Amino acid sequence: MKKNKQQIAFILTCVLIATLSNVRGQTPVREAAKGGSDQLENLVARTYRQKRPAFSLLTSSQPANASSFRFGVTSLAAPTLTVLGSGTIGRLPKWTGLTSSNSFIGDSTIFEDKFGKVGIGTDTPASRLTVAGMIETTMGGYKFPDGTVQTTAALSSIFHDASLMGNGTSDSPLGIANGGVQTVHLANNAVTAAKIANGTVVRSLNGLFDNIQVAGGTNITITPAGNTLTIAATNVLTGIAHDATLAGNGSTAMPLRVAVPLNLTGSVPFDFNALAAVIRVINTAAGGFGVLADGGDSNSDRGGDGVNALGGDSNSSFGGVGVAGTGGDSKSNFGGDGVSALGGRSSSMKGGAGVSAEGGSSEDDVGGEGVLALGGESVGGTGGHGIVSVAGTGSGGTANGLAGQFNGNVQVTGNLSKGGGSFKIDHPLDPENKYLYHSFVESPDMKNIYDGNVTTDANGEATVQLPDWFEALNRDFRYQLTVIGTFAQAIVAEKIKGNRFVIKTSAPRIEVSWQVTGIRQDAFANKHRIPVEEAKPERERGYYLHPEAFDRPEERSVNWARHPEMMQRLQQRRLAAQQARKQKPLDR
């Protein structure tokens, strides 16, 4: 079997040699196969039938123009096998396999076109020999046209000038050295703006490219020096025109600044939703002030106002508000105050008022209110108070201040609740040095008291006439009679009816002092009857209207339950003032 394989290999080698010798004149294998056998098959079969001791390559006896190989292959011992296969024009055939009855050929990777260009691994050779892949030589090396033979790698290093770096090896590959590319290495117009990295060079100036020349205008000088370009306008700009909102002329000696006083005049229509105004200040910092104003100090006169606001006039509607403040909203605590004011301290006289308000005058109608306060509405709780006033506390044994002082008549349309009450007047006997107090008369009922004196007639009778509204206002009458000047008896002969009642005495012409009380029954009293006892609201339980009367601290006052945030601020301010007085005297 080994001998058969050697014979077959020799036959195929001969076939390849014959094909290369006559590739242009041979009949394609594909066409020969179509007839059931080809010249190669006949040749192989013929040589197998010849009894010779070895292989031989013989010249064919057929004519030169016949479609056959010019060589015959014979073997004495080889069996007769049919050669099968197909191929591609230009591809050299090769033996691809062998069975007991057939021998197979097919395309090799060697190709030769009609111009004699040979390709290995490619059917489109571009030169005399084109190889698609790596060429390896295991002995002998490569021989060049000058007769030299190279058997190893060509160079151990490469010589170059300073424009390159490295020696060409894997450890030190060639590369362009820093500064290696000079102007001489660049073609004209070779570098475009797209190839220049941002921030490396100035590629244009105000839309200008190429060689740019900076020209100075009137009174402007341009001085180049090395890499520096100096643009100067020395002593030319002497002032800057501006309006009255600015001061200064823009020079070093008088730089521009905001004018003081600053007067801004503009036309900004009213827009409540947009909150448009001549000046609008928004502080985006957490908890920062929008506007902070500090009045000026004075050593000889009153201090200046921090803010002095004047509402605008109107010819057809209400005048503008002098100061309008809206407190900030809160989702988890108390809402902010619309206006929060703190009067100034004084070391020798009365402290300043937290809020000083004066109603406007009117020529044809009622003057304006000094303070107009409206409590806030509540959906699920109690509405807010119109005014909450807390007296200032005295220190060092001094008396507390008043929560409110009214110099004039006071009108209360609702019920008035108080801890106590009295009148206070200049003492009749010493009005310059003393006051006189009288307490109110209290009752659990909404009671009215009427009294007077009357003298009975010769029959011992007297009729007391009351106002015509008496019975409409009162009910549940009570009577009291006192005889004056003598011993006698007096009775109410007839109760009140028709706004009158009758007194009768046991003797004629007796003077009687009478008193009648009645419980109010007017519409307001019937709607707003004053309760005698009332449970404290849940929030106020544990707190007192007058904690000092029960020897309790001020933090147990109902004001701390009703207005804790306000009371905390008042306490902090008071403590801060006390601490400041201890540290140093008042001096701003």
For 259-311, what is each residue's pLDDT tens digit?
888 888 888 887 767 777 878 788 888 878 777 777 777 777 777 777 777 77
Instruction: State the residue for tokens 């197998």.
Output: 48
Residues 87 and 93 sit within 8 Å (Cβ to Cβ): yes
Structure confidence at residue 301 (pLDDT): 73
Length of the chain: 588
Q: What are phi and psi of 3, to 5 degrees?
A: -65, -35
Which phi and psi (to 5°) does residue 494 adopt?
-135, 130
Pick the closest to residue 239 from 253, 226, 225, 229 (CA basis): 253
- CA dist 529 and 513 (Å) reads 31
pLDDT of residue 140: 76
Domain ranges of the chain: 2-125, 447-527, 543-582
Structure confidence at residue 511 (pLDDT): 98
Spans of the chain, pLDDT less than 70: 1-79, 153-157, 203, 234-239, 272, 334, 340, 342, 344-351, 354, 395-397, 581, 584-588
Closest CA to 60 of 39, 86, 79, 78: 39
17-20-26-29 Cα dihedral, nearest 10 degrees: 80
pLDDT of residue 587: 53
| 548-561: burial string, b at 16+ Cβ within 10 Å, e else | eeeeeeeeebbbbb
| pLDDT tens-digit readout, 148-160 | 887 776 666 687 8
Q: Where does residue 575 rank: exposed (0-12), middle (13-18), buried (19+ CB within 10 A)? A: exposed
The pTM score is: 0.47
Which pLDDT score, from 0 to 100, does residue 584 have? 60
Which contacts of 163-167 are long-range, i.e. CB under 8 A and separated by 24 or more positions? none
**Which H or E run includes 579?**
helix 564-583
pLDDT of residue 509: 97
For residue 565, the surrounding DSSP H or E stretch is helix 564-583
Position 342 scores a pLDDT of 67
State which H helix or E strand residue 222 sits in.
Answer: strand 221-225
Quick check: 361 and 367 in contact, CB under 8 A? Answer: yes
Cis link prior to 261 (omega < 30° from 0)? yes
Q: What element of type H or E holds 494?
A: strand 490-494
Q: In the block, which residue shows the tokens 């009380």?
A: 517
Q: Which DSSP helix (H) or strand (E) runs through 44?
A: helix 39-49
pLDDT of residue 240: 79
What pLDDT score does 585 carry?
57
Q: How high is the pLDDT of residue 50?
A: 44
